[in-house]
């Protein structure tokens, strides 16, 4: 079985596993709805009180928020093995088993878990995108839809890549490293809003080092017809590739780190 | 009487002091989040200044970050015991179970938030004006805020025991606990300062249990609530602490009578 089919099969299986306790699953999903609904409510209340944020209208803000939550939670849904379970795979010594099997470790980690609870967060994100698109009167074209799709895909790769940094730390330190959360969850919280509102150091961080601005926000701003940076139009389709680049770079580092892995014992 | 609970409190406090590495990692993370939030509110204020000065909003953010651990920390040992059925051993102890766990969670929240809160407050004081924490509105306001914060700690511990009481029924900590905790972060002003909520909402929210934990002391500290109204604030806090405490005790008593144990 090829890695892709293996992944699809495992994901279907993982989803069934999660739904074995329907009541508990329902409660947890409801909790997710409260969480992401609360985040959206915060943006709505901000728009209610302030109307605009620099040059961005309320509709624009909903759109940026939606981009981030759809991307981030699609990653948590489909890549839960990397974003959530990896530290416990290392701590329990299960990683040793993965190394013995004739498939790539990263593939197996991705196959190890899926988190269908996040579907409600993705739904909240889609609702925000629709609200934003309607309020900002977006005139959709084929190119805009294409830019949106590419942005979300590359954004997912970027998010996975960031969580891989944590995974690499984890291979060496066994304990999960809270510090990396600043990049992943911090990046998510900050880049729900367009980066040009932040002071220079933060703006540079989220453009050059953790490129959420390049992968998600340049395309989002293009859809809204308000370019984020005064760059030529073709950059809209090139910049998001930086997200994919982060992922492939981190996947390479991950493979090298595995070579140095010295089991957790017992 | 009471000695056992003081001992539990002291032991738990010492245990919480052990994880200093995790505290440092958490500290850097909280600072980063705090800076992001303050930058966001500053950007919003640039476009439309509000009646409430930005210094107050920044202080609100930093105090929320500093005492984050008081709001969101729970007794994982107890959750595990409920899940595995080991809670049966606790039933054999010659102490009142509610007070036993109340002492534990209060110690965990107190030491956990002091360890993180004190360095955070020092850090936030050093930031430039409008970015960091402002000094208390007056010496009296500081005193009132400290009294209010103490009550907040008692109140949030009582709330935590109710969450645990419900978990004893559902046996799975993830659903109810997550739901109540997430509701708390929103209603206690951790996601968006409550002072930026619509004014009509704020009037209603200030009577709900969630605002008694951190929002009330922060409002007294920053002077959003005048010190002249302190008795009203403390009164509502005392009411909720007592109400949640009594509710929790009743819930635990009933749980004790028909507790379903897991495992075997």
* CB–CB contacts below 8 A, A to B: 97
* Angle formed by the axes of helices B20-47 and B97-126, nearest 10°: 60
The chain B residue lying nearest A55, using CA atoms, is B47
Cβ pair A42:B176 closer than 8 A: no
pLDDT at A175: 67
Q: Quote the pLDDT of residue A28.
A: 87
Tell me if B264 is assigned to some domain: no
Residue B262 lies in a domain: no
DSSP structure class, residue B86 = T
Q: Does B35 touch chain A (CB under 8 A)?
A: yes
**pTM across the whole model:** 0.91
CA A188 vs CA A65, A66, A71, A162: distances in Å: 9, 11, 10, 11
**CB contact, 8 Å: A49 with chain B?**
yes
- Full pLDDT tens readout for chain A, 266 residues: 788 899 999 999 998 888 887 887 888 899 899 999 999 999 999 999 999 998 999 999 999 999 999 999 999 999 998 888 898 888 888 888 898 988 889 999 999 999 999 999 999 999 999 999 999 999 999 999 999 999 999 999 999 999 999 899 888 877 666 778 888 999 999 999 999 999 999 999 999 999 999 999 999 999 999 999 999 989 999 999 999 999 999 999 999 999 988 887 65
- Interface mutation target, options A22, A61, A178, A194, chain B, most CBs of B under 10 Å: A178
Domain boundaries of chain A, sorted by first residue: 3-259
The predicted structure's pLDDT at residue A266: 53
Q: CA-nearest residue of chain B to A190?
A: B36
Question: How many structural domains are present in chain B?
Answer: 1
Q: Does the beta carbon of B19 lie under 8 angstroms from any beta carbon of chain A?
A: no
Closest chain B residue to A28 measured between Cα atoms?
Answer: B175
pLDDT of residue B62: 96
Residue B179: exposed, middle, or buried by beta-carbon count in 10 A (0-12, 13-18, 19+)?
buried
ipTM here: 0.91
What CA–CA distance (Å, rounded) separates B50 from B54? 8
8 Å CB contact of B32 and A49? no
Q: Mean pLDDT in runs of 10 for chain B (264 residues)?
A: 82 77 80 94 90 93 92 81 82 86 92 89 93 94 96 95 87 78 88 92 92 94 91 95 96 84 66
Chain A: give the shortest CA distance to residue B138, in Å: 29
Asked, for residue B263, whether it belongs to a domain, the answer is no
Question: CA B147, CA B136: separation in Å to the nearest integer?
Answer: 14
How many beta carbons lie within 10 A of that of residue A88, not counting itself? 13
Instruction: Please say whether the beta carbons of A224 and A136 come within 8 A.
Output: yes
Structure tokens at B257: 């009578």
For B39, nearest residue in chain A (alpha carbons) = A198
Is residue A15 within 8 A of residue A114, CB to CB? The reply is yes
Q: What is the pLDDT of residues A28-73, one digit of tens each?
A: 899 899 999 999 999 999 999 999 998 999 999 999 999 999 999 9
Selection from A151, A165, A196, A179 nearest residue A53 by Cα: A196
| Torsion-angle region of B85 (φ positive above 0: left; ψ -120 to 50: alpha; else: beta) | left
Say if B46 falls within a structural domain. Answer: yes
Report CB contact under 8 Å: A24, B186.
no
- The distance from CA A53 to its chain's CA centroid, rounded to whole angstroms, is 24
What's the pLDDT score for residue A262?
83
* Residue-number span of the structural domain to which B111 is assigned: 3-257
- Secondary structure class of A93 (helix, strand, coil): coil
Q: How many whole angstroms separate alpha carbon B183 and alpha carbon A36?
A: 11
């Amino acid at each position: 079985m090829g890695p892709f089919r293996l992944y699809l099969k495992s994901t279907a299986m993982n989803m069934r596993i999660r739904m074995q306790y329907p009541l508990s699953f329902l409660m947890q999903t409801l909790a997710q709805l409260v969480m992401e609904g609360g985040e959206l409510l915060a943006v709505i209340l901000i728009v209610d009180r302030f109307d605009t944020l620099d040059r961005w209208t309320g509709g624009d803000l909903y759109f940026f928020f939606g981009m981030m939550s759809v991307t981030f939670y699609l990653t948590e849904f489909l890549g839960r093995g990397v974003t959530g379970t990896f530290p416990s795979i290392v701590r329990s010594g299960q990683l040793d088993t993965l190394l013995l099997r004739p498939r790539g470790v990263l593939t197996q980690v991705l196959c190890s878990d899926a988190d269908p609870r996040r579907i409600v967060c993705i739904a909240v994100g889609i609702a925000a995108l629709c609200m934003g698109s309607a309020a900002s009167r977006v005139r959709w074209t084929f190119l805009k839809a294409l830019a949106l799709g590419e942005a979300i895909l590359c954004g997912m790769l970027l998010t996975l890549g960031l969580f891989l940094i944590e995974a690499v730390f984890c291979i060496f330190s066994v304990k999960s490293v809270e510090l990396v959360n600043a990049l992943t969850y911090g990046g998510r919280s900050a880049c729900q809003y367009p980066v040009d509102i932040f002071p220079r150091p933060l703006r540079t961080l989220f453009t050059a080092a953790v490129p959420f601005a390049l992968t998600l926000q340049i395309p989002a701003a293009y859809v809204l017809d308000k370019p984020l940076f005064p760059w030529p139009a073709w950059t809209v389709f090139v910049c998001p590739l930086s997200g994919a680049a982060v992922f492939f770079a981190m996947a390479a580092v991950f493979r090298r780190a595995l070579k140095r892995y010295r089991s957790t014992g017992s | 009487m009471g000695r056992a609970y003081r001992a539990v409190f002291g032991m738990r406090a010492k245990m919480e002091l052990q994880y200093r590495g995790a505290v440092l990692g958490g500290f850097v993370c909280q600072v980063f989040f705090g800076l992001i939030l303050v930058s966001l509110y500053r950007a919003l204020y640039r476009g439309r200044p509000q009646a409430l000065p930005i210094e107050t909003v920044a202080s609100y953010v930093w105090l929320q970050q500093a005492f984050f651990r008081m709001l969101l920390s729970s007794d994982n040992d107890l959750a595990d015991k409920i899940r595995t059925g080991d809670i049966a051993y606790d039933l054999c102890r010659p102490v009142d179970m509610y007070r036993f766990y109340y002492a534990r969670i209060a110690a965990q929240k107190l030491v956990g938030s002091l360890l993180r809160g004190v360095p955070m407050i020092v850090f936030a004081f050093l930031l430039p004006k409008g970015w960091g924490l402002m000094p208390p509105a007056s010496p009296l306001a500081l005193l009132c805020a400290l009294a209010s914060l103490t009550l907040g700690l008692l109140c949030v511990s009582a709330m935590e025991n109710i969450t645990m009481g419900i978990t004893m029924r559902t046996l799975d900590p993830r659903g109810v606990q997550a739901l109540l905790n997430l509701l708390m972060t929103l209603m206690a002003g951790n996601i968006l300062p409550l002072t930026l909520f619509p004014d009509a909402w704020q009037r209603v929210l200030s009577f709900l249990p969630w605002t008694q934990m951190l929002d009330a002391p922060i409002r007294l500290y920053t002077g959003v609530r005048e010190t002249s109204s302190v008795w009203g604030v403390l009164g509502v806090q005392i009411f909720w602490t007592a109400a949640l405490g009594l509710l929790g005790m009743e819930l635990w008593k009933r749980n004790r009578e028909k507790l379903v144990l897991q495992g075997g």
